[in-house]
């Protein structure tokens, strides 16, 4: 009985093949065969693609409805296969059962689709996703900038406090030395005069005194002691200049906008970097060429601009040291004998200041180092970008400098070519609306 039930769909007695309806006309038969074959192939291909897509996208919403669509499409393709089969074999019961299953799946799919439509309509459109993506990129950029500002602000705040503390601690004993050196020199001169007067009044001194005077080289002391005091005075003055430069650079007490002389900030930075400008080992002395114009006092954040000067000059020193050893540039950019890495035997940094008009000043820091490729130049102000070896730089200096100049309402520009040196231009307004 069960066997008869399962064989029933394949029952064909009493039916004629579908081909008889077409009178077995070859062209018409082949037209239906090709049409149904291509449609079946298309349905199966679409179903396979849907199943593959769903399997690869585990996070895809509405996976069940896509799988139902895949099943519906497979059964649709199967009905077209049955259309070809019944041309010769009249198993119309089997064909009807397949169509019935197709109808059931399609109806179930339709009912399942109805409650999903509001959820699908709530999904963002490509345009909305693009807007959200743009906003996310902007937020990430602002977050990165904020992060770099926080890192650098904390770093410079700590450095400023350290420098100010050192300057204060040095200033006290130096002031004591500098303040008393004149008095000590005056006392010494008086004592030497007194000794000279004794020698004039008592030319014949006791033998013990004469022996001691010769032993301590009294005549030499008379000549050398004033020179020693003069050297101490010069050294004290030099230390006082360094202390003033340290205090000027740190500007701990000048966090707000003030009207200042930019040359003072540049000179203070150069003084702090003085040791790095001197030749050490294989490195030559770096020459500083100042071409200062007559600048008016500028409204700015002094400590922040000093930070910009420090970053620019430090980078210039680094690239000049690299150029002394040999520039690391692409071979296509090297123009020298036997294609050797070019070296720099006269490292220089030029600092040019000028008034552009009645509203702006420009500071130019120019080195004759290795220069940069266009690819590097375009990334030079990006946060965390650096060409230095790992551990030698954070990649924050130029990015922070750019933000500081922008905060002042100015412009920061880099002009460079491989083996042609690098020039940084800073343009800032003379008067600030915030002052």
Kindly report, residue by residue over 414-429, the tens digit of the pLDDT: 998 888 889 999 999 9
- Look at the block and give the residue holding tokens 């669509």: 69
Buried b (16+ CB within 10 A) or exposed e, 361-395: bbbbbbbbbbbbeeeeeeebbebeebbeeeeebbb
Q: Where is the domain boundary, 54, 88, 122? A: 122
Host domain of residue 366: 257-328+341-435
Four-point Cα dihedral 182, 186, 192, 195, nearest 10:
-150
Residue 115 placed within a domain: yes
Nearest 5°: the CA angle 147, 152, 158 is: 130
Assigned token pair, 196: 């000279």
Residues 232 and 349 in one domain: no
Q: Is the pLDDT of residue 1 over 80?
A: no
Mean pLDDT (the chain) is 79
Q: Is 345 strand, coil or helix?
A: coil
Whether 278 and 215 map to the same domain: the answer is no
334 domain-assigned: no
CATH number at residue 267: 3.30.565.10
Instruction: Check whether 396 has a pLDDT greater than 60.
Output: yes
Q: Is the confidence at residue 365, as pLDDT, over 90?
A: yes
pLDDT value at position 237? 75
pLDDT band for position 180 (cuts 50, 70, 90): confident
Verify that 111 and 197 share a domain, yes or no.
no
Measured from the Cβ of residue 156, the count of other Cβ atoms closer than 10 Å reads: 18
What is the arrangement of strands in the sheet containing 348-355, beginning at the earlier edge strand? Answer: 287-291, 348-355, 360-367, 422-429, 411-416
Residues 234 and 262 in one domain: no
Residues 110 and 216 occupy one common structural domain: no
DSSP, res 343:
-
Domain end: 221, 237, 253, which one? 253
Considering only CA atoms, which of 194, 430, 395 is closest in space to residue 295? 430
Q: Among residues of the chain, what percentage have pLDDT more than 90?
A: 12
Residue 422 lies in a domain: yes
- The share of the chain scoring above pLDDT 70, in percent, equals 80
Q: What angle do CA 265, 266, 270 make, to 5 degrees?
A: 115
Is residue 49 included in any domain, yes or no?
A: yes
- Cα 164 to Cα 263: distance, rounded to the nearest angstrom: 20
Which of 220, 253, 286 is the last residue before a domain boundary?
Answer: 253
For residue 175, the surrounding DSSP H or E stretch is helix 126-201
DSSP state of 53: H
- Whether residue 333 lies inside any domain: the answer is no
| 434 part of a folded domain | yes
- Longest alpha-carbon distance in the chain: 163
Query: Among 193-207, 288-302, 398-412, which is the least confidently predicted range?
Result: 193-207
pLDDT digits (tens, 9 = 90+) for 31-90: 989 999 999 999 899 888 888 888 888 777 777 888 888 888 898 989 989 888 888 888
Residues 368 and 355 in one domain: yes
Q: Are residues 215 and 347 in the same domain?
A: no
Assess whether 402 and 285 both reside in one domain: yes
Q: Same domain for 368 and 417?
A: yes
Residue at 136 is within a domain: no
Q: Are residues 159 and 235 in the same domain?
A: yes
Could you tell me if 307 and 265 are in contact, meaning their C-beta atoms sit under 8 angstroms apart? Answer: no
| Two tokens, residue 263 | 């040359």
- Average pLDDT on 91-114 reads 87
| Residues 245 and 270 reside in one and the same domain | no
Would you put residue 124 in left (φ > 0), alpha (ψ -120 to 50) or beta? beta
Classify 412 as helix, strand or coil.
strand
Given a cut of 70, whether residue 300 has pLDDT beyond it is: yes
Judge whether 135 lies within some domain.
Answer: no
pLDDT at 9 over 50: yes
Q: How many distinct structural domains can be found in the chain?
A: 3
Same-domain status, 281 and 348: yes
């Amino acid at each position: 009985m069960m066997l008869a039930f399962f064989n029933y769909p394949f029952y064909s007695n009493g039916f004629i093949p579908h081909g008889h309806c077409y009178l077995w006309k070859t062209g018409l038969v082949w037209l239906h065969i090709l049409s149904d074959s291509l449609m079946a192939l298309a349905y199966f291909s679409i179903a396979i693609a849907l199943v593959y897509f769903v399997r690869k996208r585990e996070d895809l919403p509405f996976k069940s409805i896509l799988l139902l669509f895949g099943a519906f499409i497979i059964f649709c393709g199967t009905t077209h296969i049955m259309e070809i089969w019944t041309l010769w074999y009249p198993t119309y019961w089997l064909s009807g059962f397949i169509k019935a299953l197709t109808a059931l799946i399609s109806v179930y799919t339709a009912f399942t689709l109805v409650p999903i439509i509001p959820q699908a309509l709530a999904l963002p459109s490509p345009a909305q996703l693009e807007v959200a993506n743009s906003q996310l990129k902007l937020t990430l950029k602002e977050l990165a900038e904020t992060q770099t500002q926080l890192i650098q602000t904390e770093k410079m705040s700590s450095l400023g406090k350290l420098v100010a503390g050192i300057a204060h601690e040095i200033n006290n004993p130096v002031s004591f030395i500098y303040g008393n050196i004149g008095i000590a020199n005056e006392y010494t001169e008086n004592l030497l005069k007194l000794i000279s007067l004794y020698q004039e009044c008592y030319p014949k001194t006791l033998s013990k005194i004469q022996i001691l005077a010769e032993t301590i080289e009294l005549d030499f002391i008379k000549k050398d002691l004033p020179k020693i005091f003069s050297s101490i005075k010069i050294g004290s003055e030099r230390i006082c200049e360094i202390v003033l430069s340290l205090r000027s650079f740190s500007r701990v007490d000048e966090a707000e906008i003030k009207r200042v002389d930019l040359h003072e900030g540049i000179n203070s930075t150069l003084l702090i970097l003085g040791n790095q400008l001197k030749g050490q080992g294989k490195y030559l002395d770096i020459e500083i060429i100042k071409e200062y114009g007559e600048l008016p006092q500028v409204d700015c954040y002094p400590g922040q601009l000093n930070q910009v000067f420090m970053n620019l000059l430090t980078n210039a020193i680094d690239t000049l040291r690299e150029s002394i050893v040999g520039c690391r540039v692409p071979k296509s950019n090297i123009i020298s004998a036997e294609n050797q890495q070019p070296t720099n035997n006269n490292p220089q940094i030029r600092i040019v200041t000028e008034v552009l008009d009645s509203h702006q000043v420009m500071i130019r820091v120019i080195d004759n180092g290795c220069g940069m490729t266009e690819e590097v130049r375009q990334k030079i102000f990006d946060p965390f970008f650096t060409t230095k070896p790992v551990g030698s730089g954070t990649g924050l200096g130029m990015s922070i400098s750019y933000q500081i100049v922008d905060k002042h309402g100015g412009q920061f520009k880099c002009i460079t070519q491989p083996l042609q040196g690098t020039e940084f231009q800073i343009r800032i307004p003379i008067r600030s609306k915030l002052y």
